[in-house]
Structure 1
Amino acid sequence: MTDTIRIERDGRVLVVTMNRPDKKNALTHAMYAAMADAIDGAQEDDGIRVVLLTGAGDAFTAGNDLVDFQSNPPRGTDTPVARFLRAILNAEKPLMAAVGGVAVGVGTTMLLHCDIVVVSENAMLQTPFADLALVPEAGSSLLLPQVVGTALASDMFLTGRRLSGEEAVQIGLASRFAPHAELETEARRIAHGIAAKAPEAVRLTKGLLRRNREETGARMAHESALFTERLKSPEFMEAATAFMQKRPPNFG
């Protein structure tokens, strides 16, 4: 476990908090590994019935830590990133998210694997993969169009369009809205309510709703291969350098 991921047992709810507020909870390989361990462990723990993801400070997560990923690009199927993506794809127990700040890149795409997403007025969702010379991940090129339609998914992926929490609820990317001061309390209340229900009925219901996991997993694998190639591309090198230098990228 790492101190950048905080794990709390709240009754039958496991609260997993991305805890790197000085970097807006940007995700490193170590953080992915810790979250994968927590989610996978919860599946084997009869005392846990719901997993709730949240972020410390004023962010959910700003997405991948570009310095960490540029210096150590993920390769293969057993990397921390791959393990995390498999964990959220295959989780049989309900996954929830409380989003009270920026949710960029994987911060948005992981929500597609959450069964309940609660957002506040401070939430801002964005998928700026093309801005970084990357491609969508987490199966989002399949799942996002299914949720919001191809037109809006294309707008989000190709322009990096930002969505407010209210918009996320309106288009079905989030389940509920809560005032920011009450966000985590409301998310925990919902989680405890689900945890009090018949666990096998809940598991089977989620399985029916998520019945296309095999197709999603295949798309996720294809995206991951492309994503890894993009991390070695001259376009990504320029995008990452421009990001660090706080200037617009020049793609010629």
Structure 2
Amino acid sequence: MSTSSDVVTIRLNRPDKRNAITAAMYTALADALIAAEASAAAVVVLTGAGGAFTAGNDLQDMRDNPPVGDNPPPVRFLAALTGLRAVLVAAVDGPAIGVGTTVLLHCDFVYATARSTFRLPFVDLGLVPEAASTLLLPRLVGHQRAAELMLFGERFDAATAANVGIVTAVVADGTALDQLLAERTAALVAKPRAALRATKALLVDSTARTVPARLVLDRRVLQSLLPPAPDRAHEAQ
């Protein structure tokens, strides 16, 4: 993890295994996200080393360290991920398999190189998709397209991922990805921090699902961002 006062970068760094994620890595990821949230950073960037985003879960490690109980490392990671108020950006260069694809559904922006590939192989592995992806993917792409991606489990390219809305933008290569990432994170950092984080929280809030309930929530959050009444009166003079 690398940290500035504004941007936290979390890099999956197990290139010899295409960044396949172990239980210990899930623990480290959760710790990094919790620390990022505590820092009030504007942006958290999730990326991978060595020409891969992640090959997904390390299946041997999963057999050795099964995710049992109420709060195993993967569950703790997902709780930290979904509780993040910083803008979450994924930078994908190479394979994004399994959780490497499902985690993208929790990101606010996903930038990928043209060579990146995606796959949801859970059914083929005798498993079911994780990370609430059976809820989030149909919302994003529609039921039939989600069923196609999840039930067949076939690999798809970056252009397809962008076409269905999983990826925000596709760039030519790693150099272009770094440039776009720098530009976009700088633009986000320049925004008023409290408003940025509050808007992100509203975008992912699942409690106020009706228009009347959302109007109440919007008003409550807006009022929390306004300066005290005397200051507003002074500004109006």
Q: What TM-score, normalized by structure 2, do the two folds share?
A: 0.84
The residue that corresponds to 2:70 in the other structure is: 77
* 1:140 and 2:133 correspond: yes
The residue that corresponds to 2:160 in the other structure is: 167
* 1:121 and 2:121 correspond: no
The residue that corresponds to 2:89 in the other structure is: 96
* 1:13 and 2:10 correspond: no
Deviation of the 1:44 alpha carbon: 0.9
In 1, Cα distance between equivalents of 2:129 and 2:85: 24
Q: Check the 8 A contact 1:51/1:96 in 2, yes or no.
A: yes
Q: Map of 1:55-70 to 2, 5 A cutoff?
A: 55-70=48-63
* Aligned residue type for 2:56: G
* Aligned residue type for 2:15: P
In 2, Cα distance between equivalents of 1:170 and 1:10: 33
* 1:196 and 2:190 correspond: yes
Deviation of the 1:169 alpha carbon: 1.1
Change (3 A) 1:189 1:10: farther
Q: Check the 8 A contact 2:112/2:177 in 1, yes or no.
A: yes
CA displacement, residues 156-215 of structure 1 (integer Å, 9 cap, x when unaligned): 111112221111111111111122132123123212211221111111211221122799
The residue that corresponds to 2:232 in the other structure is: none
Deviation of the 1:79 alpha carbon: 1.4
Rg larger for: 2
My pick for the range that moved more, 9-18 or 153-162, is: 9-18
In 1, Cα distance between equivalents of 2:202 and 2:190: 20
Q: What TM-score, normalized by structure 1, do the two folds share?
A: 0.79
Q: Check the 8 A contact 1:90/1:213 in 2, yes or no.
A: no
Q: Check the 8 A contact 1:96/1:114 in 2, yes or no.
A: yes
SS in 2 for 1:91: coil
The residue that corresponds to 2:22 in the other structure is: 28
* Aligned residue type for 2:11: T
Q: Check the 8 A contact 1:148/1:172 in 2, yes or no.
A: yes
The residue that corresponds to 2:224 in the other structure is: none
The residue that corresponds to 1:111 in the other structure is: 104
SS in 2 for 1:16: strand
Deviation of the 1:77 alpha carbon: 2.4
SS in 1 for 2:39: coil
SS in 2 for 1:97: strand
Task: Spell out structure 1 runs of 4+ moving beyond 4 A.
Answer: none
Structure 1: 5+ residue runs without aligned partners?
A: 1-6, 216-252
Q: Check the 8 A contact 2:5/2:39 in 1, yes or no.
A: no
Identical residues among aligned pairs (%):
43
In 1, Cα distance between equivalents of 2:15 and 2:164: 28
In 1, Cα distance between equivalents of 2:160 and 2:147: 16
Pairing partner for 1:176 from 151, 166, 169 = 169
SS in 2 for 1:117: strand
In 1, Cα distance between equivalents of 2:104 and 2:29: 14
In 2, Cα distance between equivalents of 1:96 and 1:81: 19
* Aligned residue type for 2:7: V
